[in-house]
Amino acid sequence: MGYASFSNFAHFKGDPEGIWDAFTNPAVTGKYVKHTTEFVPGPDFALEAGKSWEERHGAECDFDVVTWTIADHVPESRMDVQGKQGGILQRVRMRMEPVNDGYLLTESIRFSPAGAGKIGTSVVAWIMWATGLLPKFSNDNGESFELLRDYLDGKRGGDADSATAQLAKTMTGHAADFVAAAAGSFVSMGELDGSPESLAAVDRLLGEYGERTTPLSQDDYLRAAAYVFEVARADFGGRYVEDDGGDAFVLVVGEPACSVTVMAMGKVMKRVQHGSADSIEFFYAGIAPLVERGQSAVLR
């Protein structure tokens, strides 16, 4: 069966070990990549052939969980990895070669159909692959190398940036856990696709939770709230803020024109405890008008 592919390259100067680690190590790349993902290492993870890790995506990728496996690794020279996402097998080849007074980094990605993935997402991905659109949409034309350069120059992934990114990754992981736990109970996996429309399924699920005699734990509430947060963040952008004790989280959207503080945790608790009068869908529908008007507010 055929494949589609693209390649990008860039020239870097500096310590080859540091460049290679920042280029290939998934524990490091998560500090500067454009789309937030959570890095979950496999047993005894290391940059060695046969080792694997999970990459947990947010709402912009339907909370996909992609398992990547290292097929080949020669330090400061080459690494090949592969993983399946949305019905597509991705083979990524990374290379570093000494040239002139620095190093040439090359990243090549090859796509081919695979059986893994949600049916709806897989069909769309297969069509994009067959028509040649997949590599065009996936190719960032070297943007990832610019983000890598900023990271190596200390402009991205610093302490404050890392703390914010880490909080976002944590919430992405909680949202993915919510989907995994909820699917097959009162909703299907396909209903929890990270879209605003999926909040109808969340509303229904929280209503079912409210009928239970066993109360939900704080972690249960947090995972459900994280899903709502991640839907909003995919829709409006924004940043997470936590209190000094790390016990409460909010999402702030609309900046710099305004500051709309979304307090999903409390709303999720009210939906479970008070019923449909505290609809998640109605709550969410209040965000867009405020952002469009540039009106600061707190949504509880």
Domain ranges of the chain: 4-152, 159-299
Query: How many CB atoms are closer than 10 A to CB 300?
Result: 14
CA 36 – CA 169 distance, rounded (Å): 6
The mean pLDDT values, 10 residues at a time, for the chain of 300 residues are 70 93 90 76 91 82 84 97 85 93 91 60 44 50 85 65 73 88 75 89 90 82 94 90 69 89 94 92 96 92
Closest C-alpha among 161, 159, 284, 164 to residue 234: 284
Task: Tell me the two tokens of residue 51.
Answer: 């080792």
**The pLDDT of residue 31:** 76
What is the residue type of 177? D
- Sheet of 249-253, strand order: 239-242, 249-253, 260-262, 297-299
The answer to whether 65 touches 56, Cβ cutoff 8 Å, is yes
**The pLDDT of residue 94:** 97
Tell me the CA end-to-end span of the chain in Å, nearest whole number.
Answer: 52
Query: How many CB atoms are closer than 10 A to CB 101?
Result: 7
CA 100 to chain CA mean position, Å: 37
Task: Tell me the two tokens of residue 96.
Answer: 């570093």
**The pLDDT of residue 161:** 52
CA 81 – CA 67 distance, rounded (Å): 10
CA 25 – CA 31 distance, rounded (Å): 11
The fold of the 4-152 domain, in CATH, is Alpha-D-Glucose-1,6-Bisphosphate; Chain A, domain 4 (3.30.530)
**The pLDDT of residue 237:** 87
Backbone φ and ψ of 55, nearest 5°: -120, 110
CA 26 – CA 87 distance, rounded (Å): 22
**The pLDDT of residue 4:** 60
Closest C-alpha among 67, 92, 88, 89 to residue 79: 92
Pairing state between β 297-299 and 260-262: parallel
Task: Tell me the two tokens of residue 250.
Answer: 């909010």
**The pLDDT of residue 282:** 96
DSSP 148: H
Task: Tell me the two tokens of residue 77.
Answer: 């020279």
Q: What is the pTM of this model?
A: 0.55
